[in-house]
Amino acid sequence: MRINQFGKAVMLLAAASVTTEVWADERSAEAKGEQRDRRQGDIVVTGRSLATDEIASPLPVRVLAGDQLAHRRQGGLGETLAGLPGVHLDNFGGGASRPVIRGQTLPRIEVLTDGANLFDVSSISPDHAITTDPLLLDAIEIQRGPAAIRNGGNATNGAINLIDSKVPKAVPANGVTGATEVRFGTGDEEKTVVGRVTAGVGQFAVHAEAARRAAEDYDIPGSYGSDKLRDSFARSTSYSVGASWITSKGYIGAAYSRVESKYGLPGHSHINGVCHAHGLDLHCATQGGFDDPFGGPDSHTAYIKLKSDRTDVRADYDDLLPGFSHVRLRGSYTDYAHDEVDGELLFSRFTNEVWDGRLELTHKPVLGFSGTLGLQYTNGAFGGINVNNRHKPFPNGAYGFDGSPDYRTDNIGVFLTERRSFGAVDIEAAVRKDWRRIDVGAPPWRSTVGPELEGLLGEWYGADWKQVLESQDVARFRTRNPTVRHNPFSASIGGTWNVGQGYALALSYGHTERGPGVRELYARGNNLATNSYELGLAVGNPILNEAGRAAEDVMETTDAVNLTLRRVGGPLEFEVGLFYQNVDDYLFARLIETETETGIPHNFLIYTAAEARFMGIDGQVSYRFTPQSQVTVFGDYVDAKLKKEHDNLPRIPPGRLGARYEHSAGPLTGDLEYFHTFGQSKVASYETRTGGYDMLNATLSYRLNVGQDRAVEFYVRGTNLLNELAFAHTSFVKDQSPLRGRSVAFGMRHVF
């Protein structure tokens, strides 16, 4: 079926979501003393939009929770959320998947954990996993558009808030609550075990949780040439322990968490590790000082081995300070590292050590306005890009740098949100200002020269020749890796007109500024995961230099308008959102050339800035025939354009349209979901067209109550039941990493 863009847009006005709409105070019920006692499994939403319980937010916010989350959960966040209206998938096998919201993924989406930033390296490259385990989450909140303005420029296209129970917010009413889950999947031989428990005495509560998941290479349709996707395996272990002191006015607590995982990189090749650039010309052959850092066959399994340790301090308290109704504290320390291994060779190691603190003060009403003043400070040291030869020892008879540079970031941000109701119209506004500085620390300098060369160097440079040569190398290094400062400013304003009878019309405008990230600034070498050689903005970028601009002159600036029409209550409910984004200095990797000398194409990409425009529609329409029966139609569509360019933006998701039928009969519930993803023919110069595909999923569950606040659920969920060979156009490695084939997951959940 062929549908033009206008036809798609009209059809997609009927878009839908399986998620639960929540319009709640940012503090939600967990900050209210009368709701301190909760049983395990209750969903507490935090890090919210700016609305109170009585005021509906004009900003699009959705929550995936309860059975819907439990049945949809996969090993990665992107796979878990894929299929929701406006959310697509950037996949890299079974171990790494990132969500794509309204056409964009990280670093234009911020991932939060209970309202605090989640620090890993998933924004650096698509093969890097987001360090969260969906199996241990209570809910996932998706804030689209200006709803995430308080989180800064990296939330241009939204924020995803991961709701967990690591730090208890309530003392269990019966002293102890908990949950367990086991599941098995046929498509990848998945074996999963999950357990969690919260216990309380007096005003203290402790929490412990753990999850273990092991999955082999997943099934794909045989028409791909194989019935298994090689190197798509994924194994992970996660655990956390936390404790809190809880009163009628709030709580303060801390938690320690560890995530470990090992997963394969489908389609990975190291043969292009020899590629290097001469100006705007890419060479992929050994010459001069450039050689193959591997020197062996290209048939080994490549994988990532990851470990992340994190400590969180969280507090929410009512009426702690005069003039303020609520105080919120979020502090964290993250120590992240992962190794990239090819066979037995360690070719790269990424690290990220970050201290972060956020304090929010919600003031009491002033002239009818209530709002929150916030301060955030972040200090981090990142390392790993541009290095693909960690397995090679420092050579004898040489001198120079040995190791990876440290990219050190200091960021201070302040933000203010305000809200007020004027009769049937509710108004919200938010502003945020950041001051960010990135310094690049040179790697350690060392020498292994022998006595003869040491004598010559002493004659040429004097007795302190080591200090002289090191200072010269450091000076050249700083010239090639300059300090970069950006001071972005973001603001939004929105209003909701509550028409009556459940109808509401919401309009919001957001202005967002985003400074370039570390890879966009300092990339200068091969990214073997994406088969590309990349050059950043701050390392002698010839396109930027020709335009007479420096890296500090480039600030991605987005002006966005969101219009949302919704209806709640009654058998017919819907939410349809339209958005328009105009972006100045949109940062993207421009293709310079594709080198095929090794037999495997390698793209030469230079980060540059251009003018871009995004527009689209997403949403839902649901109709409940009876209290037990409901049908939902959902979909989304994004149109992206590079202004003044003879090219398209890469990895823009195609349109999608689908329907879902849900039915319950006592303890038995089920749903059947079908959607069609259209083909994508508007492709960038180094992309190929992606065909459309059909997806059929189904879920059946049976809940057995075994006592007060105790239940056992048995469920089975089938995905891609048509066994379609499907490729995600949003993926960097779409041709090497098709989506999963037919799979059936069997699970049992126990809540007590």
- Tokens at 649, concatenated: 């933006």
What confidence category does residue 549 fall into, taking pLDDT thresholds of 50, 70 and 90?
very high
Cα-based distances in Å from 365 to 23, 369, 418, 421, 631: 20, 5, 10, 12, 42
Residue 294 pLDDT: 83
H-helix or E-strand spanning residue 619: strand 602-626
Three-class DSSP category at 646: coil
- Tokens at 738, concatenated: 């098709």
Rg (CA), the chain: 26
What confidence category does residue 645 fall into, taking pLDDT thresholds of 50, 70 and 90?
confident
Nearest-10 Cα torsion for 229, 231, 235, 236: -110
What confidence category does residue 55 fall into, taking pLDDT thresholds of 50, 70 and 90?
very low
Q: Which residue has the higher pLDDT, 300 or 631?
A: 631
Other beta carbons within 10 angstroms of residue 5's beta carbon come to: 11
Those residues whose C-beta lies under 8 Å from the C-beta of residue 496, and which sit 6 or more positions away, are 55, 56, 57, 58, 425, 426, 504, 505, 506
- Tokens at 186, concatenated: 């046929």
What confidence category does residue 70 fall into, taking pLDDT thresholds of 50, 70 and 90?
confident
What confidence category does residue 74 fall into, taking pLDDT thresholds of 50, 70 and 90?
confident
What confidence category does residue 602 fall into, taking pLDDT thresholds of 50, 70 and 90?
very high
Q: Pairing relation of β-strands 176-185 and 190-201?
A: antiparallel
Residue 57 pLDDT: 52
Place of tokens 């025939």: 625
Phi–psi pair at 326, nearest 5 degrees = -155, 145
What confidence category does residue 11 fall into, taking pLDDT thresholds of 50, 70 and 90?
very low
Tell me: pLDDT of 726 over 60. Answer: yes
What confidence category does residue 709 fall into, taking pLDDT thresholds of 50, 70 and 90?
confident
Other beta carbons within 10 angstroms of residue 172's beta carbon come to: 21
Q: Quick one: which of 524, 521, 496, 500 has its CA closest to 508? A: 496
Mean pLDDT of 41-53: 34
pLDDT tens digits along 167-203: 999 999 889 999 999 999 999 999 999 999 999 999 9
CA atoms within 13 A on the CB side of 276: 13
Cα(75)–Cα(134) distance, rounded to whole angstroms? 7
Tell me: pLDDT of 5 over 60. Answer: no
Cα(145)–Cα(636) distance, rounded to whole angstroms? 15
Amino acid at 408: R
User: At CA 252, angle to CA 312 and CA 69, rounded to 5?
Assistant: 60
Cα(22)–Cα(31) distance, rounded to whole angstroms? 16
CB 128 within 8 A of CB 121: yes
pLDDT tens digits along 297-319: 788 899 999 999 999 999 999 99
Q: Pairing relation of β-strands 602-626 and 532-535?
A: parallel
Average pLDDT score, the chain: 89
Q: Quick one: which of 483, 513, 506, 733 has its CA closest to 619? A: 506
Q: Quick one: which of 217, 226, 129, 84 has its CA closest to 743? A: 217
**Cα–chain center distance at 607:** 21
Domains of the chain: 39-269+301-441+481-491+503-751 (2.40.170.20), 450-480 (no CATH)
Q: Quick one: which of 117, 112, 51 has its CA closest to 77? A: 112
Tell me: pLDDT of 286 over 90. Answer: no
Residue 699 pLDDT: 97
Nearest-10 Cα torsion for 567, 572, 573, 575: -80
What confidence category does residue 685 fall into, taking pLDDT thresholds of 50, 70 and 90?
confident
CB 706 within 8 A of CB 735: no
Q: Is the peptide bond before 107 cis (omega within 30 degrees of 0)?
A: yes
Tell me: pLDDT of 426 over 80. Answer: yes
Those residues whose C-beta lies under 8 Å from the C-beta of residue 278, and which sit 6 or more positions away, are none
Cα(467)–Cα(319) distance, rounded to whole angstroms? 59
Phi–psi pair at 269, nearest 5 degrees = -140, 135
Task: Check: pTM over 0.85? Answer yes or no.
Answer: yes
Other beta carbons within 10 angstroms of residue 692's beta carbon come to: 17
Tell me: pLDDT of 677 over 60. Answer: yes
Mean pLDDT of 652-675: 97
- Tokens at 83, concatenated: 């299929």
CB 377 within 8 A of CB 407: no
Q: Quick one: which of 334, 332, 272, 336 has its CA closest to 302? A: 272
Mean pLDDT of 83-94: 93
CB 419 within 8 A of CB 462: no
Q: Pairing relation of β-strands 159-163 and 572-595?
A: unpaired
Those residues whose C-beta lies under 8 Å from the C-beta of residue 708, and which sit 6 or more positions away, are none
Cα(74)–Cα(64) distance, rounded to whole angstroms? 14
Longest dimension (CA), the chain: 92
Cα-based distances in Å from 332 to 253, 354, 414, 429, 748: 12, 8, 18, 28, 34
Q: Where are the beta strands (DSSP E) in 647-724?
A: 656-665, 668-677, 693-707, 710-719
Q: Quick one: which of 140, 105, 70 has its CA closest to 715? A: 70
H-helix or E-strand spanning residue 259: strand 250-264
Tell me: pLDDT of 31 over 70. Answer: no
Cα(635)–Cα(675) distance, rounded to whole angstroms? 8
Q: Which residue has the higher pLDDT, 150 or 554?
A: 554
